[in-house]
Chain A
Amino acid sequence: MALPRRNSGSRFTLAVLLLSSITLISLDARGYEPLTKLRKAATAVVQPFRNLASTIFDPIGDAWESLSQGDNLEKENALLRAQLGDLLEYRTTTEGAVEELAALRTQLGLENLGGQETVVAEVTAQSVSNFDPYILEIGKGTQNGIREGMAVISVGGLIGRIEDPGLRSARVRLVTDPNVSIGVLVVGTNQVGILTGNGVGQPLRVPDGIPVSADVEIGSILVTSGSERSPYPGGFAVGTILEVLVDEINLEKELVVAPTGQFENLEFVTVVLYEPLDNQNGRGN
């Protein structure tokens, strides 16, 4: 088995390709506009093929899901029934809390959610990567007024924010991403902390910022704080406190939070057409 002599041409080709890749990575990291446009254009060109393929393959994907997740669905149904029972019971005891929450919002100067314009978008794909499961794709984009950073909600509350919107599609970065941070307020208190994701299927966390003396309780609702620099409008339900852990050394409380928004089997989501003032000014400049 004789080793063939490789010509310098193949090495030159490889060197050019590697340099091109590194240049692309570098330019993309700097937010080089033509590359962003190229990405959007390529997405738009292939989108009709994807839509066609989606029409053909969706039933196959659904069938696979029902086959592979049959047991999970039964368990989920049982869990949901139990939760529904609990919620009905909870509702009778907490009807007054709704009025209390409205009063608190007014008191804290949070914006009225009802006043925000929204767009309902179909979830066209889950994550298309093995390495980044914190992404959804939706079938509406800048054509429908959707902009980078806008909040996305599903049944129950906030689930993510818009990332890299195209003309007719956009990505949603889910709050379960460990790299996502959200300023939150514990309803009924003035306690504000930073909520971070903790992976798919894992509870969210507020690792610090809540003093040990703060009166936070299990079951309390967390809403977006709507602080000046936050990309989210205030008052969106994000989660309920599952557990309160006390850090004796730093004299802080760590909150383990169950997200209120639905992440599984999403078909539609709502995008809140809200842009923080910073974004609007930045675009204006």
Chain B
Amino acid sequence: MLMFRFIKALFVITLVLVLQLELFSSIRFFGVMPELMLGLAVASGWHGGPSNGALTGFVCGFAVDLYLATPLGLSALSYALIAYLIGIVAEIVAEDVERIVRLIISIASVALGLVLFVLFGELIAEPNLYNKNFGKILVVGALYTGLFVPLLHYMMSWVFHEGSHAGNQRPMNRSQLT
């Protein structure tokens, strides 16, 4: 069961990674591409809870780090933290929360994830992260990613909720996942 979930997660992460690197890096709005892997980390936090979410977020970030010029581990750190936080938020809000609320929370989380990424980058004196385009990247990047958030939630629901992903809600107690 755990192995099957691992394989599904690996498949989804690889698929979204390749889409981000090869398709969406050239389909930009105002020069900004969507942060699909960050969106995936957010969705994993929502559906997997703080623990599983943080672990999946870490893997998502690590996978992205392999292709960026920034230090290995920087995205992993930000994505794991944001997935953990969204996991806590998802536990606090009602189980049957409206999808629009989930969408808004997800978009805000993506924006927060970008802020964390740049903040941690600045702390280790990584050049080029905070620049004059940061505001644009934050707003456009979060909203653009928001377009794909329902799909990312659907994927992560498929990974974490065996046989019940069609409802795209959280149908089971998270304690069953761990």
A22, A27, A46, A133: which contacts B18 (Cβ < 8 A)?
A: A46
Cβ contact within 8 Å between A25 and B71: yes
Some 24 contacts from A to B, beta carbons below 8 A apart, are A3-B92, A10-B51, A10-B87, A17-B54, A17-B80, A20-B73, A21-B74, A21-B76, A24-B62, A24-B71, A25-B74, A38-B66, A39-B72, A53-B18, A53-B19, A53-B22, A60-B27, A127-B25, A130-B114, A131-B128, A131-B129, A132-B70, A134-B128, A199-B131
A residues within 8 A CB of B84?
A: 10, 14
Cβ contact within 8 Å between B32 and A13: no
B149 within 8 A of A: no
A262 within 8 A of B: no
A residues within 8 A CB of B7?
A: none
Cβ contact within 8 Å between A29 and B26: no
Kindly list 6 other residue pairs between chains A and B, CB separation below 8 angstroms, not including A129-B69, A177-B128, A199-B131. A25-B72, A42-B66, A43-B66, A60-B27, A68-B28, A132-B69
Cβ contact within 8 Å between A22 and B73: yes
A residues within 8 A CB of B163?
A: none
A163 to B127, CA, bound (A): 15
Cβ contact within 8 Å between B25 and A25: no
Cβ contact within 8 Å between A131 and B137: yes
How does the 8 Å CB contact mask read for A50-90 relative to B, with 1 for contact and 0 for none?
10011001101110110010000000000000000000000
Who on chain A is nearest to B129 by CB?
Answer: A131
Cβ contact within 8 Å between B88 and A130: no
B residues within 8 A CB of A1?
A: 92-94
- Chain A interface size range: 35 or more
A13, A128, A173, A179: which contacts B67 (Cβ < 8 A)?
A: A128
A61, A130, A164: which contacts B26 (Cβ < 8 A)?
A: A61
A29, A65, A178: which contacts B124 (Cβ < 8 A)?
A: A29
B residues within 8 A CB of A58?
A: 26
Who on chain A is nearest to B137 by CB?
Answer: A130
Cβ contact within 8 Å between B54 and A14: yes
A115 within 8 A of B: no
A132 to B69, CA, bound (A): 8
